[in-house]
Amino acid sequence: MTKRKSTITPFEEAHFRFGLIAPVIQNVYPDASARAYYRRVTEKPILCPDGIAREYKPATLEKWTTLYRAKGIDGLTPEERSDKGTTRVLNDTAIEEIYRIREKYPRITGVMIHDLLIQDGFINADVSTRAVQRFIKANDLKSARNPNVKDRKAFETPEFGCLWQSDSCYLPAITENGEKRRTYVIMIIDDHSRMIVGGQIFYNDNAYNYQKVLRQAIATYGLPDKLYLDNGSTYSNRQLTHILDSLGIVEIHTPVRDGAAKGKVERNFRTLKMRWLDVLDLSQIHSLEQFNESLRAYIRQHNTTVHSGTGETPLNRYLKTQNHVKEPKSSEWLGECFQNSISRTVHNDSCVSIDGVSYDCPQQFIGTKVEIRYLPDHMEDAYILFDGVHYPIHPTDKVANSKIRRNNPALRIHYPEESAS
């Protein structure tokens, strides 16, 4: 067999390896033992993310499991890292968002979609309205109805925590401090119990806000086995994949452009609007915190009200099967799992740039590509992770740096001696 060079990035490789050992990590393999599972899975070549089928030995999967249990997803990540990417006028993420907006709001115009894409960061301001309108027309998106009828069957997981479903929804704009702003609600529900395990309103529907909702849900209810997610950029991104792999949670995405696949969470949004939003006096809401306080009251009511589909309250269903869920190892461990990870090369001035802000790094990393861990809301705690050691980084203070005495050798200039005339 000719050995072909892999084009998989270290990130993709780690995610691929985790996918193979996830049944052992979660203790859900159907075989008599973990070793039996390894033998069965490696009997035939395994198709890798780059499309190449490769042969693996059972010992390799066993080694990956040991590494994961010792170091988390970092143990499965090859040392070399790559952050290469490409951009287009309407990239895949923007296209998916157009389909998602059309499904939820069939009557929304192309101009309004264009404005939303710019406001939420899916496209740059220099992308024309016509580009979005041409795409809508070329792909027959004047109607949100999908002509492809799919065979669907209702399903329900057997216990709480087997599967959580997540999605977000547009809410009306509110006026806070004299400024009117659109709002979004991010929600997570448990498939078995219909319990709302996480929900919060934000001014932005973005990846980090979802991470905050998910972290609070896990801290309260434990670790789910799987997450069923939308394909929008909020739920489909490198950082979230890294977080879920670190937590040992399997990531599942809905079929592309198939809103009906998210039946339970979509019905939850319809119920939310009918029982809460439609009867809420928005003129009395003057802040995001006040809006969230009202949402929290609704969530408590929902979780203690008999669900028409199950004949029980979500809370009762949760209490019956909650022992299935694993607890996080510690709050510190949970915090580390939720740290974002990026790669940067340290410049000659010992600095790196993150979201347009410059940070000072230890000088020994000049010219080196390093991995930086951080929480966007707490950049004061950001650090370089190198050989398992944390090296703090700090926002660059040019004025303070100008006052630091440096040990650089003085430059001596030798002038030629004047010749005697």
| Residue 224 three-state SS | coil
Is residue 340 over pLDDT 60? yes
Is residue 358 over pLDDT 90? yes
Query: In 203-321, which ranges are E strands?
Result: 226-229, 250-253
Please choose, from the candidates 85, 339, 359, the residue with its C-alpha nearest in 3D space to the C-alpha of residue 212.
Answer: 339
Confidence of residue 404 (pLDDT cuts 50, 70, 90): low
The angle at the Cα of 246, spanning 211 to 188, to the nearest 5 degrees, equals 35
* Ramachandran area for residue 125 (φ above 0: left; ψ -120 to 50: alpha; else beta): alpha
What's the pLDDT score for residue 40?
A: 94
Asked which of 106-120, 222-236, 347-361, 366-380 is least confident by mean pLDDT, the reply is 106-120
Is residue 147 over pLDDT 90? no
Please choose, from the candidates 383, 299, 296, 394, the residue with its C-alpha nearest in 3D space to the C-alpha of residue 335.
Answer: 383
The percent of residues above 70 in pLDDT, for the chain, comes to 85
Which domains, from first to last, does the chain contain? Answer: 10-76 (no CATH), 92-138 (1.10.10), 163-324 (3.30.420.10), 339-402 (2.40.50)
- Report strand pairing: 250-253 vs 226-229: parallel
For residue 263, count other CB atoms closer than 10 A to its CB. Answer: 13
User: What does the pLDDT average to over 97-109?
Assistant: 80
Question: Are residues 34 and 63 in contact, defined by beta-carbon separation less than 8 angstroms?
Answer: no
Confidence of residue 244 (pLDDT cuts 50, 70, 90): very high
Average pLDDT along the chain:
84
User: What does the pLDDT average to over 314-329?
Assistant: 91
Considering the entire predicted model, what is its pTM?
0.68
What's the pLDDT score for residue 359?
A: 96
User: What does the pLDDT average to over 143-157?
Assistant: 48
Question: Hey, what are 132's tokens?
Answer: 């979005």
Phi and psi torsions of 140, nearest 5°? 55, 50
User: What does the pLDDT average to over 368-379?
Assistant: 92
Is residue 243 over pLDDT 50? yes
Please choose, from the candidates 232, 86, 247, the residue with its C-alpha nearest in 3D space to the C-alpha of residue 167.
Answer: 232
What pairs with residue 251 in β-bridges? 227
* Model confidence pLDDT, tens digit, residues 198-238: 999 999 999 999 999 999 999 999 999 999 998 888 888 88
What's the pLDDT score for residue 405?
A: 59
Residue count (the chain): 421
Residue predicted with more confidence, 365 or 106 = 365
Is residue 85 over pLDDT 70? no
Q: Which residues of 81-101 are buried (b: 16+ CB within 10 A; e: fewer)?
A: eeeeeeeeebeebbbbbbbbb
Confidence of residue 101 (pLDDT cuts 50, 70, 90): confident
* Order of strands across the sheet that contains 389-392: 340-345, 369-374, 383-386, 389-392
* Model confidence pLDDT, tens digit, residues 164-188: 999 898 899 999 999 999 999 999 9
